[in-house]
Structure 1
């Protein structure tokens, strides 16, 4: 075993987008680090997945927006950087090819080449006397004060069904469509991988059944992009129009195989005590992935959450039991499971930026970066409106990341941008203070997300359904006041003349309680002004003078 005497600040395990994003920010912080990649090249996972090689992450090239930060709201693939490396330079497709993302990741990784070690299969992570020792299959050992695990969910999830080991799995099944010609196919699961697979077989299989215990959940209804996306739901047409295919709400309880034929016993979800027995030529499990925690020594192995798919972690994405052991990438969704976007590049890239700050704070004993926001009502209102109109982190991590503005104590007006809400409530320097938390959030769409009823009041009783700003005041950890601002189609609450030439669509809207049509910027100004008046904002003299 080759044990290095050199101790790094950080060892990153995994060179996918999260590992590369972490490395980028650690390098900017001046921390020493190495990235260990199991495969022969960076982003090895995306060289295989998704299996049908098309992303469903948005790559909107033409936005009409001039602010690079705001354009990231509609660019779900670029990693955060100051070097102009944008995914749009690799693909102009709205739903790009996976191979284009791999090429982008290779370019992003190139400046960090000296920090990346490929063919380094991590087999053990241990901690001795405050130092982590990361051992690879070749016997090499990397020592570091902190570890960021960015391995993703690398193992197929086993739902515990009798005979599950007999079926093929999305993880490694043969995607050649001719294999399934005139065959009966069962696909287990109702996520995007299941419908991606079903769609690929429509022109070949005799019949396709998509089955799981729960009904299909659509991303346009839940605003969780891990639920079924419209780009993958063509198959539903073939079911509803009775083209030999079906979507079945049933729990598979047993799978048997004899003479090349699968016999599947399932319990119907919508009919109590009703079982159905079906036969298929192929069964493909698209039941998801799980985090592999086998690489950790027993005393630091993290517990698993959410059907044992993700490691347990704190609001700082740190192990609940082992200080200095952090998690990055899709496994960050353990903190906001099926609620916001931490499972996807466009969400976790912002998380990883925060994580790099947390790691640097630990390594250097420094404070979280902050800035001063004017606390006079006019200055504060303008600052809030600018952020809710331009920030990508707030927009893409709704209700999960927030801007925090301190209102009392030393340095009133001190502000923290794009930080986890749950971390802020207990963070040193914030906990126990009076502060504002500014987020963007969705409301309640009711029964039909395509026909949403609206109040159209400046000061209504119910929050708007579409993404809109929310301002909350906390004192000593308790919520004392909040204001939901009005939504609108452009999601830009600045006056038109302050948008840098960006052309919005919404000029005015009518509001019943105002008795007139108002520009979105005027509505936002009135709402924020009333909120600040209601909380009795007391502007310290020193801050007001600034």
Structure 2
């Protein structure tokens, strides 16, 4: 305890030094970011909207920007759209449903049960034309996203890693507020930054023995590597169970360790929780087939190397918890602890704050998807899921395709004076309009409580104005 108090006091003494160092760095960067006397327009490439990431949310926003005739570009550090899906899930089965038939011909209703398609005016770009599988292969998603980009002629600049995003000390005469570079040293100026790079950084909490584990991002998909091995998997989500199911048939047995029991999607109604398609290992566990689930917090444990060269769990020396780790020794320990938002692309002085909830997993944003501390930086896709985490589908394609559209409409009004799309109709048709939306609408169906229809009554003219999918 005394040691911990000394460490805490030392940390408190260091805090003013850290603040001073950061302030000095920001001042230095601010001076360096001022336009140089020898710079010309050719030195810097100017854009109104810079979208970071050519995954589904970035492409969805690109579609709306292009349709509105805006000056934009999508920057993608890899050589393909949807790079995340070329790697994940590791065992290649998506858990986003692809319901080809619903018994209905209404395209808006059918989108309620199509979790993979992006929005567009082209019906040939519905995902059902690319796969008939209920749970599609991840490679199909990569092909779909590339075809979406190609057919709609979206402006994506590949092999361009955005680095050192910083807000300029003062706006340029042309209204540009941000500057960044790519890995080639090319400089870009942007009025608005839209971050769509997803939750792609593996979550790697430190614990004793961490270096002996292998992450989900690096785990082998060759079952031969797990033949007659005893496996411990850290985590209790879809990636953990997906990995466990893959190796259970050849391993001695598999244990999953987490701080609490699995949350089942069929019970919580949250699509990010453990899905039935991945929970096969629970059968093994409940039917006494060696595989099992363990409950303990990693904070109280350490992973040690035994004399046999294998690994085992032990209580940390400073732990006061009354917990007895299993006696099992493991050949392989795999971390499947999810992903977090990666903010490495930002300058220290323009770094968006992290949401203190969810252990800083998400950036801190306002209801209009704008960074809480850096104006004119917006987040879309899974990075904006903090607003509706565990409540609606904002972290998944069938949710954020609508929040991307909502953000675009907000930007159209804020930056260009374009009003929110609406329809005026006689007041006598109000009930019909509401019932139709209740029965057919997909956006408010997926993003309930966060997007809603707004009705403005004009009693003097006996009319109403109907606005769809407005952020609540």
- Normalising by the smaller structure, the TM-score range is 0.7 to 0.9
Who is 1:526 aligned against? none
Counterpart position of 1:333:
385
Partner of 1:285: 335
* Residue of structure 1 in register with 2:199 after alignment: 153
> Which of 395, 409, 417 pairs up with 1:357?
409
Is 1:23 aligned to residue 75 of structure 2? no
Tell me what 1:392 maps to. Answer: 442
Aligned to 1:116: 156
Match of 1:166 among 182, 191, 212: 212
Matched residue, 1:417: 468
Query: Which ranges in structure 1 are unaligned for 5 or more consecutive residues?
Result: 422-546
2:304 is the counterpart of 1:256? yes
Partner of 1:68: 107
Contact 2:256-2:293 within 8 A present in 1 as well: yes
User: Which runs of 5 or more structure 2 residues have no equivalent in the other structure?
Assistant: 1-38, 172-176
Backbone CA RMSD of aligned residues: 2.0
**Closer, same or farther: CA 281–391 of 1 in aligned 2, 3 Å:** same
Residue 304 (1) aligns with residue 358 (2)? no
TM-score (norm 1): 0.73
Question: Do the aligned residues in 2 keep the contact of 1:406 with 1:413 (CA within 8 Å)?
Answer: yes
2:47 aligned with 1:8: yes
Higher relative contact order, structure no. (Cα contacts within 8 Å, ≥ 6 residues apart): 2
Report the Cα offset of residue 8 of structure 1. Answer: 1.5
Shift in Å, 1:220: 0.9
Task: Verify the 8 A CA contact 2:75 2:162 in the aligned structure 1.
Answer: yes
**In 2, Cα distance between equivalents of 1:407 and 1:420:** 19
Question: How far apart are the structure 2 equivalents of 1:192 and 1:415?
Answer: 40
Cα deviation, residue 83, structure 1:
0.9
Bigger CA drift: 157-166 or 345-354? Answer: 157-166
SS at match of 1:119: coil
Q: Does 1:274 align with 2:323?
A: yes
CA distance in 2, matches of 1:4, 1:380: 56
Query: Structure 1, residues 27-54: CA drift from partner, whole Å, max 9, x if none?
Result: 0111010111011111111110110011
- How far does residue 410 in structure 1 lie from its aligned partner after superposition? 9.4
The Cα shift of 1:98 comes to 0.5
Deviation at 1:6, TM superposition (A): 4.5
- Are the equivalent residues in 1 in contact too, given 2:59–2:154 (CA < 8 A)? no
Which range is displaced more, 223-232 or 290-299?
A: 290-299
> Could you tell me which residue of structure 2 aligns to residue 494 of structure 1?
none
| Residues 164 and 409 of structure 1: CA distance in aligned 2, closer, same or farther (over 3 Å) | farther
**Count of residue pairs the alignment pairs up:** 415
Which stretch shows the higher mean deviation, 107-116 or 335-344?
107-116
**Aligned equivalents of 1:308, 1:410: Cα separation in 2:** 50
Where do 1:86-485 residues align within 5 Å?
86-111=126-151, 113=153, 115-128=155-168, 129-130=170-171, 131-252=177-298, 253-258=301-306, 260-265=309-314, 273-277=322-326, 278-305=328-355, 306-376=358-428, 379-407=429-457, 413-421=464-472
Give the C-alpha shift of residue 82 in structure 1: 0.5
SS at match of 2:359: coil
Structure 1 residue 375: Cα displacement: 3.6
Give the whole-Å Cα distance in 1 for the aligned partners of 2:283 and 2:44.
62
Q: What is the DSSP-based 3-state SS (H/G/I as helix, E as strand, rest coil) of the residue aligned with 1:403?
A: strand
Select the structure that is richer in strand: 1
